[in-house]
Amino acid sequence: MDHYCVFGNPIAHSKSPDIHAAFAAQTGQQLTYEKRLAPLDGFAAAVHAFIAEGGKGANVTVPFKLEAYRLANALTVRAQAAGAVNTLLFDAHGITGDNTDGAGLVADITANAGVPIVGKRVLLLGAGGAARGAVLPILEHRPAALVIANRTVAAAQQLVQQFAALGGAGIVSACGFAEITGSFDIVINATSASLQADLPPVPPTVFQPGTLALDMMYGKEPTVFMRFALEHGATARDGLGMLVEQAAEAFHGWRGVRPDTAPVLANLR
């Protein structure tokens, strides 16, 4: 029996064990998956302890994704691009770091919401770790434009420079929240505003009828951002589908089997 876990602090609220248990049951994979609370100053030690117990892989959530990036001795292309790691694989080569967040986001938009990204205008709010992980997977779907808006414009500009070489030249641009102009087909909230029940300061003109507004956060009730988008004619979606899809991507990386996410997402809803 192979062992997996998710590291975080806090971690009690995590739905990951339920998701991976459902994937394992569906695909006939024999494994266990648990939550592990890592001390804020003891993430690396917690990972090495889990490896010593025979752990095969782990997910990493807040606040350890940057530390996981530094801990890995090999990185996938998308983890390198994201500058953060949410999935670890342990084998004879050591610790491989991957980032499945962006791929999960894109799968949720294109497959679950049924909205293609190709040729669309995409607005990404925020320039932190969550936004960073999303840029390369979005660019791989060839949008007409990807605008990264952030409170600190320099941070958004840094992302633009980083991804210009990775197929983003002429497609990716940066601005402050106040400088956003025009409407978008897809608006993604990658800021932490929803955690504080707050709204990123975006003009309502970014939404048009048919805009998909996706908040990476999720809760029992729609977020402030989702309600704001709905009031201005958009379709709103929370981050639960992204959570399930990033988990499926990690599961596939560990087990070589891709689970069917639809029934698992429906069950969580």
- Residue type at 57 in one-letter notation: G
Residue 26, classed as helix, strand or coil, is helix
194 is in an annotated binding site: no
35: left (phi over 0), alpha (psi -120 to 50) or beta: beta
123: left (phi over 0), alpha (psi -120 to 50) or beta: beta
Is the preceding omega at residue 263 within 30 degrees of 0, hence cis? no
35 classed as catalytic:
no
102 is in an annotated binding site: no
182 is in an annotated binding site: no
198 is in an annotated binding site: no
129 is in an annotated binding site: yes
130 is in an annotated binding site: yes
DSSP H or E run through 89: strand 87-91
Q: Name the token pair of 214.
A: 């996706």
71: left (phi over 0), alpha (psi -120 to 50) or beta: alpha
196 is in an annotated binding site: no
126 is in an annotated binding site: yes
CA-based nearest residue to 107, from 255, 230, 257, 250: 250
192 is in an annotated binding site: no
127 is in an annotated binding site: yes
128 is in an annotated binding site: yes
Kindly name the residue from 35, 65, 120, 220 that is annotated as catalytic: 65
CA–CA distance, 18 with 76 (Å, rounded to integer)? 26
Span between the terminal Cα atoms of the chain, in Å: 29
- Give me the residue label for tokens 């569906």: 26
86 is in an annotated binding site: yes
Binding site listing for NADP(+): 126-130, 216, 239
What residues form the annotated binding site?
14-16, 61, 86, 101, 126-130, 216, 218, 239, 246
- Return the active site residues: 65
Please enumerate, by residue number, every residue annotated as part of a binding site for shikimate: 14-16, 61, 86, 101, 218, 246
